[in-house]
Each structure stands twice: as structure tokens, then as C-alpha cells.
Amino acid sequence: MGMDGHGGAVFRVLLRKVFHQARIAYNGRRKLFEGRGDGRRPRGPWGLGVAMDRSEMNDDRTDEGRTDESAVPQGESLPEPDSLYALPPASSPQPRPIPPAEDPAVRTTSSMAWLVGLLAFILLTTHLVPSIIERVRYAWVRGRQRAEYESAGDALQRVRFDDFSRAFQLVSQRVGPSVVHISCDSKSRVVGPGIQLRPMPYRQADQGSGVIVDAAGFIVTNYHVVAHASKIEVRLSDGRAVPGELIGQDPPTDLAVIKVDATGLIAAEWGDSDELLVGSPVWAVGSPFGLENSITFGILSAKHRAGKIGNYYQDFLQTDAAVNPGNSGGPLVDVRGRVVGINTAIVGDAYQGVSFAVPSRVAQRIYREILERGTVTRGWLGVIPADVTAKQAQEAGMDKPEGARVVEVVSEYRGAVSPAYRAGLRNGDIIVQWGEHPVKRSSDLFHVVAATRPGSQVDVTLWRSGRKLTLPVLVEARQD
């Protein structure tokens, strides 16, 4: 609390009262000594004695050294009394005066002064000291902020922003030639412009983006961009427009591969999405709203966004880079211009700071499988998993809640016995390891099982009734 304003005025009034009471106490004690009538001078304000008069010094003398008339030789006379201090007869010494008892009023005044002094001390400690501490603390904070301000100013003077801008330009130059604009004509029964008596076929144009991943003409894009296309046109970065052919598609991951016959193509370089850390800078490239060769900047907000998006086989990267309709199928690149994701989805109908991309790890695997077999096959285990709670982990004897808990073992599906039932998995088992891959959550089990080639045998590590077990499982192909 500071000393300004109302608090300061109150403190000054109380301080004046303290000095006033102290003055009253001093004057009362002084008058007491002046009114004794014993010939003694009043004491000083702090009770210190002052010089006594001659009569007092005579009273205080001892009998030693007294002069007796019989001891004076004949013919000599005693000195005049005025030349010596008057001494009373030895036979009748005058008693010392007894000081009067202390006046009760003086004692009350002294007590009042002590109380007022105590009040002044309390006021000082509650008003003045906190104010001093507050001012010291404020000065320290202001000094630190001033030092940081000046330090930041000096550092900004040394930063070369042209290098920072140059990095953005190099990323754009690195990936820009590999990004394409895709236009698709599709027939769907929608209501066309104007008033219609009944729905009729209406030709609709879908637009999106893609990225060249092979100079032979192979392009990766989103499945929903080319899903119902009757005609695909690809516009290259140099302005050429060439027809595209659908090679394969994978709806669960929303990926597709198309091919164009063109020369002089520049393929983008794949990056590793697993090594990409949250907070890393990323760039989204594509054709939002048909605006070709647009690039936006953001950071990687999160990884492993699955299940919440609507498909357990998807394992999205989340970013705040501006992605809008038309960006679908375009690349998400890192600071080296390498493709780390395929932009796929946004929250809502337009950009709201949250967008999702298929990781390059998944996109590369789907791309290779489509090129090799024209379709994507996934492994099948035959369980319904869920995340593990803290209570379930404790009951199983685990240190922390992680893994995929088996809610139900599917015994048979479409006439085939499930691999989980055949391997002896039970309801309540908690799977924590699939071969060499740790399982932290239920979505992890979906991904590692789907990525396992059918016919492979995998050792599954799990917890059951407080014991850790390992069971071999023969993976089969999923029947969609």
C-alpha cells in the first residue's frame, strides 16, 4: 500500500498526534521538577542531572575535614563566613530533603506517550515499509523489463530478415514446380441453377490440388477430389493442361493416384513425417478457391489425430496453415521443401485455424501399394479395441494407462475365424506391443495392424490378470 492519497493523509495526522503527546509528556515532567521548592535545579528533558547550587554541595559534605574552634591557635580568628561555604553545626546536621512522590498524572502521560509511540511504530510497519518494498519491487521489475527491451532491440538489429524471407522463397521455389491444379467433371443428380420441376443431371466441376511424386507422371491427390470424376484435367505449374488418368484409390485414407503423359516434370521429394516435431514450421501449397500456386505458412500443431475425424484408419497431422477448399490433395512441406503430408480436411466450410493432412509415412505406403497391385490390402486381427483407463491399468498390474484394451474378440466374420480368436486373445487383454511397434492407444493398434502384410506372423505382447504375455498371431487380409 503506498503513502499517497487517503492512506498518506491518515498517516500524517497520526504522526502529528504522536509528536503532540510526546511534547505534553515532556512539559509535564519539567513542571514537576520546577515546583519542588527544594532548591534543586530542574532536570533535563531526559532525566539527566544539572549542576547543584552551593547549599547542596555543603549538605553533601562529610564530617571529615570539619574545623573546630578549640583547634584554632590563640590570636588567630576564623575566616569570615562569606569566604567559605556555610557549614551547619556538627551536632545538628540537616537531613536531605525527600523528593515528593511521583504524580499519577505524570505516569498516565508517560503511558499514553508509550502507547502513541507503539501506534506510530505499527503505522510505520503497515504503511511505510510495504510502500518501500513495493517501490523496490516495482523498480526491479521495471529494470528487468527495460533490460529485456533494450536487449531485444539490439538482437533485432542484428537479425537479417532478408534471410528469413529468403527461406520462404526457397521453399516455394523448391516445391512449386511439383504442385498441380486438378479439375474434374462429374455427373451427379443435383438441382441446377434456376427453378426446376424435378432433379435432373447437372454437370459439376470439382477442383483440387495434387503433387507430382514421380517424374514419369504419377501424382498423389485426395480420393474425394477425383471420386466421381468422368474427366480429369491437370494443369501443370508451367501452364500446360493435360488429361489425367485415375490409377487407384483408397477411400479409408482419402488418397488416390493419377497419371499424366507429359515431359519435363519435376518430382517433389518425400520427407519423413515421423521425424517432424510439433511446433515445426510447415507450408501448405495448392489452389484454394481455384487460385493456383498459392502457398501459406503455419506450424505443426499436433500429430496422430485419429478417430475424432471419423475414420480410425486415418492418422492426421494437424496444422494451422491456411487450408481452404481447393487445397485438397496439395502437399504440406517442411523447411527443406520436402513433402511431409497431403492436405486433406478442415474444420467447417472454410479455414478456421485447424486443418489436417495425411502423413507422408501413410501416403507413401498407399502410393506404393496402388502402383504394385492397383489396390490397398490391410491386415486384420479381429478385435474391437478401446483406450485404457487408469483403473484398468492398475487392475492389470501396469504402471501407467497405455495400450489398447480388447473390448471384444470377434470370433467369426463373413465365415472366417478371426486371427485374434485363433491366437487365444481374450476380452480384457491389454495389448502394449505389436511386433516391434509399441501400442500407446487404441488408434495405434488400428494403424499397425492395417500396415501389416496379410500372411505375416506377429508377436503380440499384452497384459492379462497382472501377468505379461506374448502370443503369436497370424495376420489375415481384411474383408471390406
Burial of residue 32, with CB atoms counted within 10 A of its CB: 0-12 exposed, 13-18 middle, 19 or more buried: middle
> In the structure grid, which three cell numbers stand for residue 96, read together?
536531605
Of the candidates 254, 320, 429, 444, the residue annotated as catalytic is 254
**What are the CA-CA distances from residue 93 to residues 37, 59, 60, 64, 134 (Å)?**
20, 8, 10, 14, 69
Taking residue 301's Cβ as centre, other Cβ atoms within 10 Å add up to 18
Is 261 among the catalytic positions? no
Q: Are 251 and 237 in contact (CB under 8 A)?
A: no
E strand intervals along 192-240: 200-214, 218-222, 231-235
Of the candidates 127, 172, 178, 224, the residue annotated as catalytic is 224
3-state secondary structure 127-179: HHHHHHHHHHHHHHHHHHHHHHHHHHHHHHHHCCHHHHHHHHHHHHHHHHHHE
Distance CA 160, CA 192 (A): 55
Of the candidates 172, 183, 209, 328, the residue annotated as catalytic is 328
3-state secondary structure of 346: strand
Taking residue 313's Cβ as centre, other Cβ atoms within 10 Å add up to 20
Which residue, chain included where needed, has cell 467369426?
412
Distance CA 300, CA 446 (A): 23
Is 328 among the catalytic positions? yes
Q: What is the DSSP string of 255-272?
A: EEEEEE--SS--PPPB--
Distance CA 256, CA 269 (A): 18
Distance CA 349, CA 323 (A): 11
**Please, which residues bridge with residue 413 across strands?**
416
**What are the CA-CA distances from residue 167 to residues 163, 285, 296 (Å)?**
6, 15, 13
- List the catalytic residues: 224, 254, 328
